[in-house]
Amino acid sequence: MSVINTNMSAIIATNAIIANDRAQETAMERLSTGLRINSAGDDAAGLAISLRMAAEVSGLQMATRNANDAISMLETAEGATREVSTALQRMRELAVQAASDTYSVRDRRALDLEYGQLMLEIQRIATQTTWNTKTLLNGANDLATAAVTSTTLDIQLGKGSNESMNVQIRSFDPRTAIRTNAVLEVVDLNTGLAVAGRTHNLPDLPGRPVSNSGTAGLDNAAATGTARGVVRSGNDNHNNVIANLRDTSDLETQAFGHAVLWVGDNAAGAGNRGAVGSNTAQRLNLTTRINASYALTNLDIAITAVSAERARYGAYIARFESAGDNLTNVARHQESSRSRIADADYAIETSELSRTTIIAQASTAMLAQANAAKQTVLTLLQ
């Protein structure tokens, strides 16, 4: 058409340049940032999906760190309890030695000195072993009351608020393994005879099964049933009776099983046998053969229970290692999926940039041709 007010060829070329410039700018932006989605306008749905997946990936990565931190924490606790096991082994040796009548009262006093120091060391380990300012092995006990608790920790192992693992660390403070209705024998250091009014009362040997008759056992507590082989008494200073014939290991709050390491003292009278935190409770001692035999029985139980507790820490560690590996695997594959949505493919984007550059040159040339074509109208005016 021989018109000059509307140059359709130039309009077409101009629109092509504008569209191509937009595509070229997008390709340059993606190549500059490495991201396929730089704004919501690039891919609205993809932006929402990638941001959600990015949050999940970062949560999984932090959960992996939590698992590794938990492993370090448990290894700290297990290392400390290894020393507790070593101390208990030596205490048992001393108890075996003191349980023999080949030793005098003074000899047993000397043996009890080392026994007492080892007991204090177990107490120190329980109250001083910390991880990131947390005391791990004292069961959060302040010993102001007779209650025995355990340290319960929740380790976050997933991207969601309900994906955690519960870790329970029982108390290793020997003062929480107390039986208030047991009293130690006291003897005169010079004569070796039992002190009047301070005779021993150690009937409640732990581990005794319930009798078939269902009668009260040696703890002066009500019988819990008629089944054999069920430990009746609680392990700690609660002196609990087991309900519904449950094994005490399910209810224990300290690490020494149903062993007794501290007892009540009858110095204040039979009606006041003492409690944790009071002056009327005392540790087991080796000053008499009967006391040493009682200590030996309970140390055997304590060693077995502490070994089981340490094994539980090993099981926790194995689970955390498995959980960490799984979290890493999930995070890797989820990151791969997110990358396909949000990250720029340089092979594609460089090809796109080359294409738009060539088109930009061609469309500019065509715009020049479209403008030059209208110069022929001037020949009609000559």
pLDDT tens, the chain, 382 aa long: 567 777 788 888 888 888 888 888 888 888 888 888 888 877 888 888 888 888 888 888 899 999 999 999 999 999 999 999 999 999 999 999 999 989 888 899 999 999 999 999 999 999 899 988 888 888 766 555 556 778 888 888 876 667 788 888 888 988 888 776 667 777 777 766 666 545 445 544 443 333 333 333 333 333 333 333 334 444 444 444 444 444 455 567 788 887 888 886 534 333 333 344 444 678 899 988 888 988 998 899 899 999 999 999 999 999 999 999 999 999 898 888 888 888 888 888 888 888 888 888 888 888 888 777 777 777 777 6
CA distance 290 to 281: 18
Give the burial string for 187-220 (b: 16+ CB within 10 Å, else e): beeeeeeeeeebebbbebbbbeebeeeeeebebe
Give kind and range of the element (H or E) at residue 264.
strand 262-264
Q: Is 28 left (phi over 0), alpha (psi -120 to 50) or beta?
A: alpha
Tell me how far CA of residue 304 lies from CA of 238, 255, 300, 316, in angstroms: 21, 10, 6, 19
Assigned CATH topology for domain 54-331:
f41 fragment of flagellin, N-terminal domain (1.20.1330)
> Cβ distance 382 to 73 under 8 Å?
no
133 phi and psi angles, rounded to 5 deg: 70, 0
Closest CA to 182 of 145, 251, 233: 233
